């Protein structure tokens, strides 16, 4: 088993809003007691609905924003007490790909200057060596060398995200964290960027941490998956095991929401009711219980904790994990195929009835 390169223990991040004229300031619990460990060389995905705290967790893991509690360690070194100079040194080994390829690139800088900026910041190479490195990175991400003299607005969204990836790779990092790196792109372009990240991971020996709200994006690319709900990790498992047999009801709901390439299948009805609760006042007990179809009295009274890893490396925070049998992707595909076949039969019968003379 590979050694752990990035680890969080009891990680917390709270945001305090401005105090209103009357009343107390509001506290938003964005990340609450998260434990996770990313192994060297793997692709680790963090998934969940928009607003569940995934992006905040990614920023805390990379020290873009400080934690409110708990700890983050990189290669066995606690990052909580680093001085500014030490944080700058950390940036060379842990890089970030931002979600929006349109706002994350300075429009006043050429593409070459954008990619070269990490090299200048970390004083890597001579001017000629930096230019050669920029040309190499552009080619590696599938862009022509001539792109270095152009500006970000001259490129499409997918090309801009490739520029962002090249910039993240410039300093030769060991860990790359992508905050929904394909969510702002068209579906056809998403596949290209996902494949590019997978290829670069293998070629450069990277460790990838990918944030996503769509399980279809990380289904074939992740080695392990952590499912996040309202600031907490509710399930962790190897990707194949999680998709085959989820153990948390929220994971089952996410699996049912995966679109399938079946022209006759409709999008599945959500298996959970309601909206994501307000993070300023999370529900008591299990935070998912107000929306869970399997909730019992204990769920609203007692907060479940993430279990110890089993033989597969699976962990789940659910009081009923041992007694529920939840549907995985195979069941979803079967159910939707049956529904599509039933609709087709009804359509065929109606056509036959129309063709039959009175």
Residue 223 near residue 183, CB atoms below 8 Å: no
DSSP 209: E
Mean pLDDT, 10 residues at a time, over the chain (358 residues)?
88 84 80 94 93 92 92 91 87 91 91 95 93 95 94 92 93 93 78 87 93 82 94 95 93 83 56 79 92 93 93 93 87 64 51 57
For 298, residues 6+ apart whose C-beta sits below 8 A from its C-beta are 285, 319
- Helices H / strands E in the chain, number of each: 11, 11
Compute and round to an integer the Cα radius of gyration of the chain.
23
Q: How many Cβ atoms sit within 10 Å of the Cβ of residue 6?
A: 23
pLDDT score of 348? 52
Question: What are the structural domain ranges in the chain?
Answer: 260-358
Q: Outline where DSSP puts E strands in 184-256.
A: 207-212, 224-229, 232-238
């Amino acid at each position: 088993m590979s050694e752990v390169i990035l680890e969080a223990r009891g990680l917390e991040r709270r945001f305090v809003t401005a105090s209103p004229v009357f009343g107390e300031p509001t506290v938003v619990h964005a990340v609450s007691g998260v434990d996770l460990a990313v192994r060297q060389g793997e692709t680790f995905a963090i998934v969940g609905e928009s607003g569940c705290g995934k992006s905040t967790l990614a920023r805390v893991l990379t020290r873009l924003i400080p934690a409110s509690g708990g700890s983050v360690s990189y290669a066995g070194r606690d990052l909580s007490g680093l001085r500014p100079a030490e944080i700058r040194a950390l940036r060379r080994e842990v890089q970030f790909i931002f979600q929006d390829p349109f706002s994350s690139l300075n429009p006043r800088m050429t593409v070459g200057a954008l990619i070269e900026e990490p090299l200048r910041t970390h004083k890597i190479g001579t001017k000629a060596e930096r230019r050669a490195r920029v040309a190499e990175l552009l080619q590696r991400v599938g862009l022509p060398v001539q792109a270095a003299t152009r500006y970000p607005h001259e490129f499409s969204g997918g090309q801009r995200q490739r520029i962002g990836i090249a910039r993240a790779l410039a300093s030769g990092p060991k860990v790359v964290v992508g905050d929904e790196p394909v969510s702002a792109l068209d579906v056809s372009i998403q596949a290209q960027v996902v494949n590019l990240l997978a290829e670069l991971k293998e070629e450069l020996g990277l460790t990838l941490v990918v944030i996503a709200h769509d399980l279809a994006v990380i289904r074939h690319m992740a080695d392990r998956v952590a499912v996040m709900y309202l600031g907490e990790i509710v399930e962790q498992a190897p990707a194949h095991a999680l998709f085959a047999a989820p153990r948390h009801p929220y994971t089952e709901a996410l699996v049912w929401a995966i679109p399938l390439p079946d022209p006759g299948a409709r999008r599945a009805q959500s298996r959970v009711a309601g909206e994501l609760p307000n993070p300023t006042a999370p529900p008591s007990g299990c935070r998912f219980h107000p929306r869970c179809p399997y909730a019992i009295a204990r769920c609203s009274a007692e907060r479940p904790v993430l279990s110890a890893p089993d033989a597969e490396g699976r962990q789940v925070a659910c009081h009923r994990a041992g007694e529920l049998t939840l549907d995985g992707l195979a069941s979803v595909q079967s159910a939707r195929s049956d529904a599509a076949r039933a609709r087709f039969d009804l359509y065929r019968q109606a056509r036959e009835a129309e063709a039959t003379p009175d």
